[in-house]
């Protein structure tokens, strides 16, 4: 299981979850590459006041992360992603760009990248139709009404809010 922290945190942020997760998994908590100073990191630039970001910057961060995931994936029977906040944006973007590569995705209090933000992501990069038909389990925890669901149950576009 790959743990992906949120904006302003670091790789140690999610390590406290590991004792509460299945013991038979192998865990890797990955450090975002962009330093904000003071031990804080981000996966891509984010204007926290306006919640603005460039979808192409997110794309580039996902491609960098995929390079690492692809290098360790052959050593494991499967890969599950768990992302918090901006880490959820990374986890869902990895799934959306490579639907056949992941066993499941857990998103905690985060968001999915809007492919049209900023200059936009190249058409076809996100394979949302393939994700929906793949049946890959996705847990999007965000509100009191949080629940598990499969992407095939979504009634809104993947960049929208979770179903209610």
pLDDT band at 140 (very low <50, low <70, confident <90, very high): confident
Q: Is the pLDDT of residue 163 over 80?
A: no
Q: Would you say 56 and 118 are in contact if contact means Cβ atoms under 8 Å apart?
A: yes
Token pair, residue 111, equals 């968001």
Question: Which comes out higher in pLDDT, residue 145 or 133?
Answer: 133
Nearest partner of 2 among 60, 62, 46, judged by Cα: 62
Per-residue pLDDT reduced to its tens digit, 2-21? 999 999 999 999 999 999 99
What are φ and ψ of residue 88, in 5° steps? -65, -40
Token pair, residue 12, equals 């140690």
DSSP string of the chain, one letter each residue: -EEE--TTB-GGGGGGGGGGS-TTS--EEEPPSEEEETTEEESS--BTTTTB--HHHHHHHHHHHHHHHHHHGGGSS--EEEEETHHHHHHHHHHHH-TTS-SEEEEES-----TTSTT-PPTTSS-HHHHHHHT-EEEEE-STT-EEEEGGG--S-TTSPPP-
- The CATH number of 2-153 is which of 3.30.2030.30, 3.30.2270.10, 3.10.180.10, 3.40.50.1820? 3.40.50.1820
Handedness of CA 92, 94, 98, 102 (dihedral sign): negative
pTM exceeds 0.75, yes or no: yes
Per-residue pLDDT reduced to its tens digit, 56-104? 999 999 999 999 999 999 999 999 999 999 999 999 999 999 999 999 9
Beta bridge partners of 2: 28, 81
Rounded Cα distance between 107 and 12, Å, is 18
Token pair, residue 161, equals 């809010």
Per-residue pLDDT reduced to its tens digit, 30-47? 999 999 999 999 999 999
């Amino acid at each position: 299981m790959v743990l992906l922290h949120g904006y302003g945190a670091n790789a140690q942020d999610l390590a406290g979850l590991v004792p509460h997760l299945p013991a038979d998994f192998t865990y890797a908590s990955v450090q975002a590459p962009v330093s904000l100073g003071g031990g804080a990191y981000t996966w891509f630039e984010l204007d926290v006041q306006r919640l603005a970001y460039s979808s192409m910057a997110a794309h580039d961060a996902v491609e960098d992360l995929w390079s690492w995931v692809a290098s360790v994936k052959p050593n494991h029977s499967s890969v599950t992603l768990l992302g918090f906040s901006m880490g959820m944006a990374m986890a869902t973007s990895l799934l959306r760009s490579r639907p056949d590569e992941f066993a499941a995705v857990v998103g905690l209090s985060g968001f999915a990248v809007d492919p049209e933000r900023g200059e936009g992501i190249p058409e076809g990069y996100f394979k949302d139709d393939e994700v929906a038909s793949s049946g890959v389990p996705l847990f999007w925890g965000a509100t009191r009404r949080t629940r598990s669901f499969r992407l095939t149950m979504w009634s809104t576009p993947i960049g929208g809010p979770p179903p209610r």
